[in-house]
Amino acid sequence: MADLIEARVLKGFRDFLPEAEIERRLLGEILESVFRSFGFVPIDTPALEYAEILLGKGGGETEKQVYRFQDHGGRDVALRFDLTVPFARFMAEHRNELALPFKRYHMAKVWRGENTQRGRYREFTQCDFDIVGSESAAADFEILLLMRESLRSIGAGEVSIRMNHRGVFNRFLAHLGVADKSVETLRTVDKLAKIGKEETLSLLSGLTGRERGEKILSFIQPKGSWDETLAAMAEAAGGEGPDTERLAVLRRFMVDAKVADVFVLDPSITRGLDYYTGVVYETFLDAMPSIGSVCSGGRYDNLASLYSKEKLPGVGSSIGLDRLIAALESLGKSKRSAGFARVAIACVDEALGGRYQALATRFRAAGLPCEVFSEKRKLPQQFASAEKKGLAWVVVADGPALDADSLTLRELATRTDRTGLSAAEIIGTVKAG
């Protein structure tokens, strides 16, 4: 025998065994059904693209993490590392085939050669949803509402969506006379929850001087209610503007739609990326805020500027599926299950393989997923195997029992048998049970 090759996956990559994969799929299906209920449509893009397109301006942390190589034709290619850049390229390429505003979702794997010591994966699933081609407050609000509905639908419990507006922050910085430091300031403030007030103040002071650092730190403290915080923000920014007006309109929409309790105006939310220009938001599970934001995003005023001269404003959000699943598991709220079938047909006589499947076909047609056991083993073994697979019932029948439609139904939990049941009676019992 030749030497065996060791069966193993790459560091940072994972197999999904049935229980974990069922959990992921069910979660994905629930999210998709919510997106669809809002009229959002799915797209997909290639896993592999020209490196030039994915890396764009290039540089920075991202470039180091990207899986990049030469393909057979000598092309410089890379695996997508997020779904935003491919979406920008997609919109530039297909703009004329799509009606605007365009509402899309995209749930797919992405790859980053990150340092796995921080518990990060190198292959993970992203789930993005955006409205492109609208500058309206209605679009902002729809994304916010969709975030809320998505997270409610998966049973994650209560959530808080903490939001802010980049425009107010920028006006405030201009008012302070440090507009030229806005990118670094926003990135520093974004770290507040992670590094704490002291360290933030120290970094801000280094950037803008101690006095301004203190003002910035004071600006980013919530001031109480939404209205109080908004008033304080406007004042610090030198007065009302289109940005504070947008926040006021969104607040009205929330009250009108009776969802206001979920949304918190939080001037410390900045999202690190330069990309955002309007509202920005992060979402925390009330039962587990410590895992960080499970759904974040914001408004941008030009999605595809690297690839197209046409301006494409939009607003979107991204759910971190892996983080969310980890949270649901910790909270005991995950939808793990060993399988889909609830009933199996035991193999009493191997010669009856065709008739067992005929019976199973009746169950399946009635909406009962049904497994047929292929191996003739002792019944207790078959029952034990069924229990291990998460089944609740096993049908036992030999040839005469099938002929007479007089079957035995084993309830695994109680270890009791009901005899003399017809197929129709079994369907009724299993569906009710």
Over the window 354 to 373, marking each residue x when it contacts its own copies by CB under 8 A and - when it does not, the resulting string is xxxxx-xx--x---xxxxxx
For its own copies, give the closer residue by CB, 161 or 352. Answer: 352
Task: Confirm or reject binding of residue 257 to its own copies (CB under 8 A).
Answer: yes
| Interface residue with its own copies, options 241, 340, 392, 429 (CB under 8 A) | 340
Least separation in angstroms between residue 102's CB and its own copies is: 9
For its own copies, give the closer residue by CB, 122 or 215. Answer: 122
| Interface residue with its own copies, options 60, 61, 74, 258 (CB under 8 A) | 258
Using an 8 Å Cβ cutoff, are 342 and 369 in contact? yes
Least separation in angstroms between residue 16's CB and its own copies is: 4
For its own copies, give the closer residue by CB, 24 or 191. Answer: 24
Polymer length in residues for the chain = 433
Determine the Cα–Cα distance for residues 224 and 347; give it in Å rounded to an integer.
67
Q: Based on the number of CB atoms within 10 Å of its own CB, is 24 exposed (0-12), middle (13-18) or buried (19 or more)?
A: middle
Task: Confirm or reject binding of residue 139 to its own copies (CB under 8 A).
Answer: yes
Dihedral sign for Cα 356, 357, 363, 366, please. Answer: negative
Residues 69-88 contacting its own copies, CB under 8 A: 69-73, 75, 77, 79
For its own copies, give the closer residue by CB, 172 or 307. Answer: 307
Task: Confirm or reject binding of residue 48 to its own copies (CB under 8 A).
Answer: yes
Element (H, E) at 67: none
Determine the Cα–Cα distance for residues 145 and 314; give it in Å rounded to an integer.
16
Residues 265-304 contacting its own copies, CB under 8 A: 304
Determine the Cα–Cα distance for residues 239 and 315; give it in Å rounded to an integer.
25
Task: Confirm or reject binding of residue 322 to its own copies (CB under 8 A).
Answer: no
Find, among 122, 43, 118, the residue nearest to 79 by Cα: 122
State the residue for tokens 């974990």: 20
For its own copies, give the closer residue by CB, 133 or 213. Answer: 133
Task: Confirm or reject binding of residue 103 to its own copies (CB under 8 A).
Answer: yes
For its own copies, give the closer residue by CB, 197 or 388. Answer: 388
Determine the Cα–Cα distance for residues 175 and 153; give it in Å rounded to an integer.
42
Determine the Cα–Cα distance for residues 373 and 393; give it in Å rounded to an integer.
13
For its own copies, give the closer residue by CB, 18 or 292. Answer: 18
Task: Confirm or reject binding of residue 341 to its own copies (CB under 8 A).
Answer: yes
Task: Confirm or reject binding of residue 61 to its own copies (CB under 8 A).
Answer: no
Residue 306 neighbours by CB under 8 Å, 6+ apart: 56, 57, 88, 92
Contact segment (CB under 8 A) with its own copies among 106-114, 216-224, 408-416, 418-426 equals 106-114
Task: Confirm or reject binding of residue 98 to its own copies (CB under 8 A).
Answer: yes
Instruction: At 65, list the tokens.
Output: 């993490």
Task: Confirm or reject binding of residue 41 to its own copies (CB under 8 A).
Answer: yes
Using an 8 Å Cβ cutoff, are 187 and 153 in contact? no
Task: Confirm or reject binding of residue 123 to its own copies (CB under 8 A).
Answer: yes
Element (H, E) at 315: strand 314-320
Which residues lie across from 316 on neighbouring strands? 130, 298
Residue 333 neighbours by CB under 8 Å, 6+ apart: 155, 156, 157
Determine the Cα–Cα distance for residues 76 and 51; give it in Å rounded to an integer.
6
Task: Confirm or reject binding of residue 413 to its own copies (CB under 8 A).
Answer: no
Task: Confirm or reject binding of residue 43 to its own copies (CB under 8 A).
Answer: yes
Residues 11-40 contacting its own copies, CB under 8 A: 11, 13-18, 21-22, 24-25, 32, 36-39
| Interface residue with its own copies, options 83, 127, 131, 237 (CB under 8 A) | 131
Instruction: At 227, list the tokens.
Output: 């209205």
Q: What 3-state DSSP class applies to 192? A: helix
Task: Confirm or reject binding of residue 138 to its own copies (CB under 8 A).
Answer: yes
Residues 376-395 contacting its own copies, CB under 8 A: 385, 388-389
Least separation in angstroms between residue 325's CB and its own copies is: 13
Least separation in angstroms between residue 292's CB and its own copies is: 25
What is the DSSP-derived secondary structure letter of residue 289?
G
Task: Confirm or reject binding of residue 166 to its own copies (CB under 8 A).
Answer: no
For its own copies, give the closer residue by CB, 294 or 347. Answer: 347
For its own copies, give the closer residue by CB, 195 or 365. Answer: 365
CA distances 236 to 172, 181, 215, 303, 348, Å, are: 6, 17, 9, 30, 79
For its own copies, give the closer residue by CB, 174 or 306. Answer: 306
| Interface residue with its own copies, options 174, 288, 306, 326 (CB under 8 A) | 306
| Interface residue with its own copies, options 27, 81, 84, 101 (CB under 8 A) | 101
Find, among 105, 97, 99, 101, the residue nearest to 37 by Cα: 105
